[in-house]
A and B are shown apart, each in its own frame.
Chain A
Amino acid sequence: MTPLPPAADVAPQTAPTAPTASDGTMAPDAVYFEVLGNGLLYSINYERFLPRYSVGLRGGASFITYKVSSASGSGNLTLATLPLVVSYYWGSPHHKVQLGLGATVLYFDASSDSTGTKIEGAGTGLNVAATGVLGYRYMPHDGGFTFGAGFTPLLRAVKGFLPWGGVNAGFAF
């Protein structure tokens, strides 16, 4: 019977591997739909998580066009938003408190009446609003359903402070 070599002489059976999702790190990407929130009325978002820093970088977009007047020849109103948010995540592996800051680029074009005249209020055209997030997010380790909710206020020079909130759900991978 051959004696076993000392433990220190035993070569590792497998090479060390990079941490995987099941090792306790969060799934690195997510796409989700948010109702209200930083995108104002809704937004479709992509978020890239940087687990080493517990940070998420999010970009989103929304677009609405709507014919206000039923008169022939009238135009549509258009509202587009691009929320851009950097968030810090803190908490247990699955349940995170989200603290974020960012900006929402807003574009609004008033609808025209049947003569082509646009009656515009304050804040039309291209603008930027400051925004933030204080919320909760569920983070699946191996990818899958993710959701969150939070307080998502916005601030614009011409419109002031908007206490706002949002809920979102999507898929992490």
Chain B
Amino acid sequence: MRLPHAARVGALLALLAAGGTACDAITSVIVTGADFGGATADAHCDRRYVAEGGQASAFCQEVVGTVAASQFSDDCRNKFQATPGAGLCPRERIIAGCALDKKTDDGSKVWDWYYDVSDVLADAGPDAGPDGGPTFAAPVPTDVSAVGAVCADRTRYEDGAELAFP
């Protein structure tokens, strides 16, 4: 007896979903064990401070409980010419942040913290970036509601983000 096409497709999708769920569960178990063994750490990438030729941004990204801190650090330095470090982002001059809803492979949590950079802009001017470009790449929110608008911007945070405070 042959199953109707819809039933076969449904069974296939159920099988794939179960496979995906099983894969997620296995990953979660391995990460839990690795965390108990000491493999997870917190790290940050301060995008305000960049190497020569890099484009600064007005935020710092922090990742909590990751097993891939060294990859995060290398990406920070190599992709953004920014400043990586251990632990959480500096809390001084934070306006607010976005808690990213994006699901990470290792179950880590990610935040982008936006800073009041008015002092830097006052000192360096608005066009101190590479090739006379902007000192800080957009967006440069100046208050909590502006940070909230950045968090709600699905072109920036595809999986969504929630307004957060340190």
Contacts and interface: CB of A to CB of B under 8 A. Distances in A.
Interface of A: 36, 40-41, 68-71, 74-75, 77, 79, 81, 106, 108, 110-115, 117-125, 127, 129, 154, 156, 158-159, 162, 164
22 contacts: A41-B30, A41-B37, A68-B68, A68-B69, A68-B70, A68-B71, A74-B71, A74-B74, A77-B67, A79-B39, A110-B69, A113-B69, A113-B77, A114-B77, A115-B77, A119-B43, A121-B40, A121-B41, A159-B35, A159-B38, A162-B33, A162-B36
Given A115-B77, A119-B73, A69 B68 contact: yes
A69 B71 contact: yes
Contacts of B35: 159
Given A36-B29, A71-B78, A119-B86, A111 B34 contact: no
Nearest to B35: A159
A81 B86 contact: no
A107 to B, nearest CB: 9
A84 to B, nearest CB: 16
Interface-central residue, A70, A113, A123, by most chain B CB under 10 Å: A113
Given A36-B29, A108-B39, A120-B41, A41 B34 contact: yes
Contacts, number: 102
Query: Majority SS of interface residues in chain B?
Result: helix
A157 to B, nearest CB: 12
Given A36-B33, A108-B37, A114-B77, A69 B42 contact: no
Query: Majority SS of interface residues in chain A?
Result: loop
Interface of B: 29-30, 32-43, 65, 67-74, 77-78, 84-86
